[in-house]
């Protein structure tokens, strides 16, 4: 595969880099890597990209996409990772929007897509439930139709950033008397609806990133149903393919390895930089090789998508290898900073740090948080089953 960029593509890279340098506030550079950040941290960068017309590179152009080529999308992601910009949250732009513009009706496209694009609506995902995570078809949240509304009762869990959300896209059970996959419906629910309660789950790194969401007789207009009743499993699988492709995070892993190299160069072992020791340099080289292989796989997937082919089982490969690589990088970073990786930087004041180098701050928190990467979006064990069935025919 030829990774040599044309003069026009290099000019595009220069344009992207110049835009980021001019518009990214200094306090946001690397902020989300160090801690969760605020709602405004995410939205301020989202708005800047929206005003430029760059917030949804993967969307069809008629709905507000950029119309970029595969190399341009690749370059854009690389430059955003290099500059450590806040990520564009996937729940609206990358997950529910493709479902809406692919399966939704004209009224839904007109109502929801512009507000997702502008950042006016913040979305969260209502998939996982207690007892229905990797086995998503086992979900129990029930929706019963009464006239022009569905009455929703149940619980969702591990709902990322639901405390900020305006809307939630939900899988609900509308027919309990058929095969589990055949009785699920895809609903768009206003988080301000009476009967919705959001409760925090404090995770291992000490922050509120995920939540439980409870539905108690929540009335949802039938017009907020995407597609046909009891066909939600089809739309859910479509969404998950897009989610898993995005989880790979190749560009940001490349930046993380660059940062790891800087840390390991600064750390000394008997006067020798840690990066120059045989054992540690071998570990870094191994993860770099795997990341290069993953990068080529991602490029092939992007090239296929640009020709109109939807993501397939290769998205499961991207998800497995991408999250494994992310975890290995955080493990090596923790190893590099050693005992300076204080596990709870939130215990310190805003301008106070534990004893040790600044690059150690937050390393343990990132490590702890990244443990979940191999679970969300469908656990890696489930992804291996998908590959075995779709690719190997087992």
pLDDT tens-digit map of 332-342:
999 998 877 76
64 has a pLDDT exceeding 90: yes
Helix axes 314-337, 278-306, angle to 10 degrees: 150
Tokens of 235: 């739309």
pLDDT of residue 340: 75
Distance of alpha carbon 328 from alpha carbon 334, whole angstroms: 10
Q: Check pLDDT > 60 for residue 14.
A: yes
Mean pLDDT throughout 21-34?
84
Q: What is the band of 122 on the pLDDT scale with cuts at 50, 70, 90?
A: very high
Structural domains of the chain sorted by starting position, each given as residue range(s) with its CATH number in brackets: 7-88 (1.10.540.10), 122-229 (2.40.110.10), 248-390 (1.20.140.10)
> How confident is residue 3, by pLDDT bands cut at 50, 70 and 90?
low
Neighbours of 140 (CB within 10 A): 14
pLDDT at 337: 87
Q: How many residues can be counted in the chain?
A: 394
**Is residue 237 pLDDT above 90, yes or no?**
no
pLDDT at res. 355: 54
Is the pLDDT at 107 greater than 60? The verdict is yes
Q: In the predicted model, what is the mean pLDDT of residues 360-380? A: 81
Q: What per-residue confidence (pLDDT) applies to 56? A: 96
* pLDDT interval class at 108 (50, 70, 90): very high
238 versus 50: the higher-pLDDT residue is 50
Query: Where residue 8 falls among pLDDT bands split at 50, 70, 90?
Result: very high
Residues 6 or more apart whose CB falls under 8 angstroms from that of 132 comprise 138, 139, 140
Nearest Cα to 237, choosing from 359, 368, 88, 389? 389
pLDDT digits (tens, 9 = 90+) for 73-100: 889 999 999 999 998 999 999 999 999 9
Entry pTM: 0.86
DSSP 8-state class, residue 353: -
Summarize the confidence of residues 279-285 as an average pLDDT. Answer: 95
At 311 the pLDDT is: 65
pLDDT of residue 354: 53
Q: Which of 50-64, 315-329, 330-344 has the lowest mean pLDDT?
A: 330-344
Strand, helix or coil for residue 133 = coil
Q: Quick one: how far is CA 145 from the chain centroid?
A: 32
Torsion, Cα of 70, 71, 73, 75 (10° steps): 170
- According to the model, what pLDDT value does residue 249 have? 85
pLDDT band at 239 (very low <50, low <70, confident <90, very high): confident
What's the CA gap between 113 and 103, in Å, rounded?
13
User: Residue 387: is its pLDDT beyond 90?
Assistant: no
β-partners of residue 190 are 167
CB 100 within 8 A of CB 169: no
How far apart CA 240 and CA 245 sit, in angstroms, is 8
| Cβ–Cβ < 8 Å for 143, 150 | yes
Enumerate the β-bridge partners of residue 173. 142, 184
Degrees (nearest 5) of the Cα angle 118, 209, 58?
35
Mean pLDDT, all residues of the chain: 88
């Amino acid at each position: 595969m030829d990774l040599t960029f044309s003069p026009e593509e290099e000019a595009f890279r220069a344009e992207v880099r110049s835009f980021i340098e001019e518009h990214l506030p200094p306090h946001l550079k690397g902020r989300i890597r160090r801690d969760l950040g605020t709602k405004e941290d995410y939205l301020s960068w989202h708005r800047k990209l929206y005003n430029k017309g760059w917030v949804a590179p993967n969307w069809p152009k008629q709905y507000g996409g950029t119309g970029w080529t595969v190399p341009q999308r690749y370059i854009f992601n690389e430059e955003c990772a290099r500059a450590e910009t806040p990520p564009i949250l996937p729940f609206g732009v990358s997950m529910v929007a493709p479902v809406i513009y692919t399966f939704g009706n004209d009224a839904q496209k007109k109502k929801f897509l512009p507000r997702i694009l502008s950042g006016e609506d913040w979305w969260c995902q209502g998939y996982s439930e207690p007892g229905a995570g990797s086995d998503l078809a086992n979900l129990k949240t029930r929706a019963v139709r009464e006239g022009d509304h569905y009455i929703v009762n149940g619980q969702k869990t591990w709902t990322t950033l639901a405390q900020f959300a305006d809307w939630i896209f939900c899988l609900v059970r509308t027919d309990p008397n058929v095969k589990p996959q055949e009785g699920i419906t895809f609903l768009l629910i206003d988080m301000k609806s009476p009967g919705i309660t959001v409760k925090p789950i404090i995770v291992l790194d000490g922050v509120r990133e995920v939540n439980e969401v409870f539905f108690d007789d929540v009335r949802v207009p039938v017009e907020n149903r995407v597609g046909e009743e009891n066909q939600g499993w089809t739309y859910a699988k479509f969404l998950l393919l897009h989610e898993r492709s995005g989880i790979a995070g190749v560009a940001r892993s490349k930046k993380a390895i660059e940062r790891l190299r800087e840390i390991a160069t600064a750390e000394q072992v008997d006067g020798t930089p840690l990066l120059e020791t045989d054992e540690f340099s071998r570990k870094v080289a191994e993860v770099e090789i795997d990341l290069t292989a993953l990068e080529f796989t991602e490029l092939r997937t992007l090239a296929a998508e640009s020709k109109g082919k939807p993501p397939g089982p290769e998205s499961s490969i991207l998800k497995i290898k991408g999250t494994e690589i992310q975890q290995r990088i955080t493990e090596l970073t923790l190893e590099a900073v050693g005992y300076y990786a204080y596990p709870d930087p939130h215990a310190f004041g805003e301008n106070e740090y534990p004893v040790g180098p600044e690059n150690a701050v937050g390393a343990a928190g990132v490590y702890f948080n990244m443990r979940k990467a191999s679970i969300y979006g469908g656990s890696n064990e489930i992804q291996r089953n998908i590959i075995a069935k779709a690719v190997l025919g087992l």
